[in-house]
Amino acid sequence: MYDAIIVGAGLSGLYALHRLRGLGLRVKVFEAGEGVGGTWHWNRYPGARCDVESVDYSYSFSPELEQEWDWTEKYPGQPEILAYLEHVADRFDLRRDILLGTRVVAARFDGGWHVTTETGERVGARYLVMATGCLSVPKPVEVDGLANFRGEWHHTGRWPHEGVDFTGRRVGVVGTGSSGIQSIPVIAEQAGHLTVFQRTPNFSLPAYNGPLAPETRRAVKAAYGLRRSLARQTHSGIPAEPAVQSALEVGHEERLARYQAGWERGSLVGILGAYTDLLIDRAANDTAAEFVRSKIRERVEDPADAESLSPRDHPFGTKRPCLDSGYFETFNRDDVTLVDVREDPIAEITAKGLRTAGGSEYELDTLVFATGFDAMTGALTAVDIRGAHGRSLRETWEAGPRTYLGLAAAGFPNLFTVTGPGSPSVLSNMVVSIEQHVDWIADCLAFLEGRTIEATAAAQEAWTAHVREVGAATLYPAADSWYMGANVPGKPRVFMPYAGGVALYRRLCDEVAAKGYEGFAITG
Ligand code: N01
């Protein structure tokens, strides 16, 4: 019997193990992958990279770690992030309590938690911490006929460790979200011919990635504490000065100059963070959206391709935008073809490739599905989690997730979700949100001293209503995004993250703790 079981050994699970162990608790981590790293273990597709700067997309809990580790690039590639997380696992001696290659399939509460693994092993613990990530369950391929395909196929979120050789091959990529936008330019470099099947064009800005100069690293390290605390005081968890003006308060030329400066920063918040109302006012948003579309027209030589690649169905930022390295320019290559599968939908995958409803056939050797994830709830409902009354989380969330602070759910005592739905999570720098959640959970466990805690139904309903209300005051619901569950057929259309920002959210969580865990029932 453990004090706590943690599911997942990614950024969340590794830090949770470190913190809970520091409380003197007996902790075990179960990880489905054959290595630590979570997202960064699985997403090894070519070009995989973080679009939050390396110096910010890293743990702040250890000043020694901060000083020792040298990031080599502005935006870290997947191998470097994985190496960092492996270093963390070794440096803090975490591996001895992590069981790799062990998928948790069920968890039942009867006074304590009983966790069942895929191999039928049952393990008990007082507390259960789901550190399963927001984007860890790939969507199954939704096109008929995949079994007939004679070529090779891969999902970006389950990339083979040995890599994929595209040399001289006819490659098809389905999907133009972040994973597609990052992998397409790299695959194009290798492939004989690349065909991109695009359903919805996405906003993307140049990353202007490059090596981190030693003097930049030194300057960051000299003032790391300040940088971290600034990040925590922002909306997004990315250190930046807050916007103070509406986009509509200033003249056209001034706005363009501001957007241009944001563009040149190569940052997710460069443009989106320029004005206060870009995510709440459609007219304000249109000014930024049109600026980005004008850049797409500059970057893509063929006007028809440029128009196909220009997003018009959703406001800028309401689907996760991307930072790219040469994405739009890739369509200027002779050996790359763009196919609009909104106009002519994919009908089926055949033995030789892909056929559209309009009857066009594309012969392919390799198919890449960059088609995304069952986001935010998928990894939680994939486990048969049953609470105090035997009801499953899956059933409880049938009409959309309901949580208290994105950390806990009524009816599920002693269960914690790191960056769960109803918290800022995916709208923020994940590491900032992860550390805040894990710290909150660790402080809570220290306070509990083994007692049982459960979110009250009233607190959960009030929080869920607040999350929906804040979401409804933004432009996010205007997009068919994975934030809304809209990418998974049959998933309820609900805006899942908390859009109040990390600074406000942290304050609310701290107030709950300071009031003796207000909104929770504590027994025992
Ligand atoms: O997935 P997505 P992703 N037929 O869901 C298309 C994070 N991330 O893996 O928009 C045809 O965004 C789909 O089209 P549509 C980041 O938060 C971060 O790219 O549904 N097309 C879309 O174009 C990101 O947002 C990083 O019409 C289909 C694409 O596939 C999140 O992960 C890197 C289809 C899926 O895009 C998810 O990104 C990578 C179908 N049946 C990921 N189904 C960085 O840090 C889906 N599509 C940079």
Q: Which of 341, 343, 371 to mutate to test the pocket of ligand 1 (most atoms within 8 A of CB)?
A: 371
d(CA 166, CA 168): 6
Question: How many angstroms is it from 118 CA to the middle of ligand 1?
Answer: 28
Q: Are strands 2-7 and 27-30 parallel, antiparallel or unpaired?
A: parallel
Cα 182 to ligand 1 centroid, rounded to whole Å: 11
Q: CA-CA distance, 303 to 311, in Å (whole number)?
A: 14
pLDDT recorded at residue 17? 99
Query: What's residue 34's pLDDT?
Result: 98
What was the pLDDT predicted at 131?
98
Ordered DSSP codes for 273-315: TSSTTTTT-HHHHHHHHHHHHHHHHHH-SSHHHHHHTS--SS-
Cβ–Cβ under 8 Å, residues 214 and 333: no
Compute the distance between CA of residue 76 and CA of residue 54 in angstroms, rounded to an integer.
5
Q: Buried (b) or exposed (e) across 218-255, using 16+ Cβ within 10 A?
A: eebbeebeebbeebbebbbbbbbeebeeebeebeeeeb
Cα of 486 vs centre of ligand 1, distance in Å, is 12
pLDDT at residue number 311: 98
What is the DSSP secondary structure assignment for residue 483, as one 8-state letter? G
Locate 11 and state its tokens: 């950024």
Residue with the smallest CA separation from ligand 1 atom 37 is 372
For the CA atoms of 13, 19, 21, 26, what is the dihedral angle to 10 degrees? Answer: -60
CA of 10 to the centre of ligand 1 (A): 20
**Secondary structure (H, E, C), 306-346:** HHHCCCCCCCCCCCCCEEECCHHHHCCCCCEEEEECCCCCE
pLDDT tens-digit profile of 108-144? Answer: 999 999 999 999 999 999 999 999 999 999 999 999 9
pLDDT at 292: 98
Burial of 486 per CB tally in 10 Å (0-12, 13-18, 19+) = middle
Compute, in angstroms, the gap from residue 347 CA to the centroid of ligand 1.
Answer: 20
Per-residue pLDDT, 63: 98
| Distance from the Cα of residue 320 to its chain's centroid | 9
Task: Give the chain's radius of gyration (CA, Å).
Answer: 23
Give the phi and the psi of residue 3 in degrees, each rounded to 5: -75, -40
Residue among 272, 189, 283, 289 nearest 238 (CA): 272
Q: Which residues contact 218 (CB under 8 A, 6 or more apart)?
A: none
Question: Helices marked H in 25-175 — which ranges?
Answer: 39-42, 63-68, 78-91
Give 308 Cα–ligand 1 centroid separation in angstroms.
17
The candidate with the shortest Cα–Cα distance to 464, out of 496, 503, 511, is 496
Tell me what pLDDT residue 212 has: 97
Cα 129 to its chain centre, rounded Å, is 19
- Which one, of 164, 162, 145, 166, lies nearest residue 154 by Cα? 164
Which residue do the tokens 């194009």 mark?
Answer: 188
| pLDDT by residue, tens only, the chain of 524 residues | 999 999 999 999 999 999 999 999 999 999 999 999 999 999 999 999 999 999 999 999 999 999 999 999 999 999 999 999 999 999 999 999 999 999 999 999 999 999 999 999 999 999 999 999 999 999 999 999 999 999 999 999 999 999 999 999 999 999 999 999 999 999 999 999 999 999 999 999 999 999 999 999 999 999 999 999 999 999 999 999 899 999 999 999 999 999 999 999 999 999 999 999 999 999 999 999 999 999 999 999 999 999 999 999 999 999 999 999 999 999 999 999 999 999 999 999 999 999 999 999 999 999 999 999 999 999 999 999 999 999 999 999 999 999 999 999 999 999 999 999 999 999 999 999 999 999 999 999 999 999 999 999 999 999 999 999 999 999 999 999 999 999 999 999 999 999 999 999 999 999 999 999 999 999 99
Cα 288 from chain centroid (whole Å):
23
Task: Give the residue from 135, 137, 154 showing the smallest Cα distance to 146.
Answer: 154
Rounded to two decimals, the pTM is: 0.98
Q: Whose CA is nearest to atom 17 of ligand 1?
A: 320
Binding pocket residue ranges, ligand 1, CB within 6 Å? 49-51, 135, 142, 156, 174-180, 182, 199-200, 320, 341, 346, 370-373, 426, 482, 487
Determine the atom of ligand 1 nearest the C-alpha atom of 323: 48
